[in-house]
Amino acid sequence: MSRLATDLETRHVLVCCGTGGVGKTTTSAVLALSAARLGRRAIVVTIDPAKRLADTLGLEALGNVAHEIPRERWDADGTAAAGGQMFALMLDTPATFEELVRRYSSNDEQTERILDNRFYRNIAGALSGTQEYMAMEKLHELHEEGGYDLIVVDTPPTRHALDFLDAPARLTRLLDNRIFRVLMAPTRTGLRIAGAALQAFFRTVAKVVGAEVIDDVVAFFRAFEGMEQGFRERAATMTELLAAPTTGFVLVTSPRSDAVREAEYFAERLAESDLEVAALVVNRVHPDFSEGRDAGALAARAAELASRAATAPPATHDAIARMAARYANLAEYAALTRREREQLDDAGTRIGAVTVAYVPSLTHDVVDFTALDTVASHVLSAGDTEALG
C-alpha cells in the first residue's frame, strides 16, 4: 500500500495548499473520494470550485452545509470498501462568520448590532483574510461536531497561499491591538478616555478615510464586547488542530517552475511552524514519450532531416520534412519531461515530502467522478520516496 493511502486511512485532517491554477480543489476532492473508497467517512471542504466540479460534488445550490454524495454516484461499480461515505461542502464565508457571531454573542440584540454594522459587513464580505479564517473556522467546527474520519480542506488561492496558516493569529492580533483595547474600554464617553495623542491620531485617520468609518469601527468593537475571549480561545484551538499529529499538509503544484517555487516556499513556512508535509502532489506532468532517449540526439536528428529536406527532390521533400517535424516534436517532449522531472525531484528533496505523487496531464478537465477516479489511481500509486525523504 502506498504511503498516501496510509495517510488517507489514518489522518484526521488533510489541508491542501498551493498557488492558483495547480488543481488544488481537484486534488482535495480526489483525496476525500479515495478515503471514502477505503471505507472512511470523509468530507471535502471546497472554497471556490469550478462550476462543473461543483455540480459533480452536488454543490450547485448548497452553501456552507455538509451534504452526502449518494454512494452510487462516487462508487458506480460498487468496488469501494463498506462503510465509506463521501460528503462535500462549499464554504460560504459570510454565513460562517455569522454563525460564529451567533455562537459567541450573549443575546440577540448583540448579534443584530454586530450583523448590522457596516464595518462587520465589510469584513465578512470583502476582507481578504476573512475567507482564510472562515475556512479554518469551518474545519474546526467539522472537527468538533461532524463525526468525520477525515476532513480534507481546500485552501483559498491567496497570493502566497500562506494566509490560511496565519488566519487565527491575525484575528487574535487584531483583538489584541492596543487601539482596539482602548476602543473596547467599558465607558460611555468613548474616545474621550483615550489619550490626547490617540485622539489626534484618530482625528487624522478620520480626515483621510472619513469620520464615519471610525464611528463604524468603534461601534463594531463595542458591539463585540465580551466576545473576544471566545474568539481568542477558538483561535488557539485551531492552531492546536493544525499542529496535531493527525493533521497533514498536502502541497499541490504543477511542474511549472513558478508553481514549484511557491510550493517550496510554502514547505519552508510549514517547517518553521513545525507543521508536517504529508505529500507533494504534482498535477499535469507531461507524459514521457522518449523512454530515455536523449533529447539532444533527437533534436540533432530533426535538424539533420530538416537540412536533407531542404535539398530533397519534390517527391520526397514533404515526407522528410514531416519526419523532421516528428523528431523535433519528440525532442521537445523529451527535453520537457526531463526538465520537469529534474526540477521536481530536486524540489521533492528540498521539501522533504514523504510521498511525491505525479499526476499526468489529462486530456480533459477533471470534472466528473470517472476523471476523479483516474486522478486518484495516479495519486495513490505514488511510491514511497524514502530516497527523497
Partner 1 sequence: MRHVRVEELCAASRVLIVAGKGGVGKTTVTAALATAAARTGTSVLIVEVEGKSGLATSFGVPALEYEEAEVRRGVRARTLTPDHALLEYLEDRGLRRISKRLVRSGALDVIATAVPGMKDILVLGKVKQLERAGVADLIIIDAPAAGHAITFLTSARGMLDSVRVGPVRTQAQDVLDLLSDPTRCRVMLVTLPEETPVNELVETAFALEERVGVSLAPVVVNAMPGDLAVAAHHLSSDVATAGLDIPSAELRALTAAAAFRHERHGLAREQADRLAARLPLPQIRLPYLFSEIGPTEVDALADAFTAEVRALPDTTLRDPAS
User: Least separation, in Å, of the C-beta of 195 and partner 1?
Assistant: 13
User: Least separation, in Å, of the C-beta of 10 and partner 1?
Assistant: 32
Residue with cell 476602543: 183
User: Closest CB to partner 1 among 81 and 126?
Assistant: 126
How far apart CA 4 and CA 137 sit, in angstroms, is 26
User: Least separation, in Å, of the C-beta of 128 and partner 1?
Assistant: 7
User: Closest CB to partner 1 among 214 and 244?
Assistant: 214
User: Least separation, in Å, of the C-beta of 176 and partner 1?
Assistant: 9
User: Closest CB to partner 1 among 60 and 240?
Assistant: 60
How far apart CA 285 and CA 140 sit, in angstroms, is 34
Half-sphere exposure of 283 (CA within 13 A, CB side): 28
User: Closest CB to partner 1 among 326 and 350?
Assistant: 326
Task: Count Cβ atoms within 10 A of the Cβ of residue 105 and give its class: 0-12 exposed, 13-18 middle, 19 or more buried.
Answer: buried
User: Closest CB to partner 1 among 83 and 210?
Assistant: 210
User: Closest CB to partner 1 among 217 and 238?
Assistant: 217
- Cα-flanking dihedrals φ and ψ of residue 150, to 5°? -135, 130
User: Least separation, in Å, of the C-beta of 291 and partner 1?
Assistant: 6
User: Least separation, in Å, of the C-beta of 205 and partner 1?
Assistant: 6
User: Closest CB to partner 1 among 158 and 355?
Assistant: 158
Spatial CA neighbour of 179 closest among 159, 199, 164: 199
User: Least separation, in Å, of the C-beta of 165 and partner 1?
Assistant: 17
User: Closest CB to partner 1 among 76 and 211?
Assistant: 211
User: Least separation, in Å, of the C-beta of 142 and partner 1?
Assistant: 24
Q: Which residues contact 288 (CB under 8 A, 6 or more apart)?
A: 333, 334, 337, 341
Taking the alpha carbons at both ends of the chain, their separation in whole angstroms is 18
Residue type at 157 in one-letter notation: P
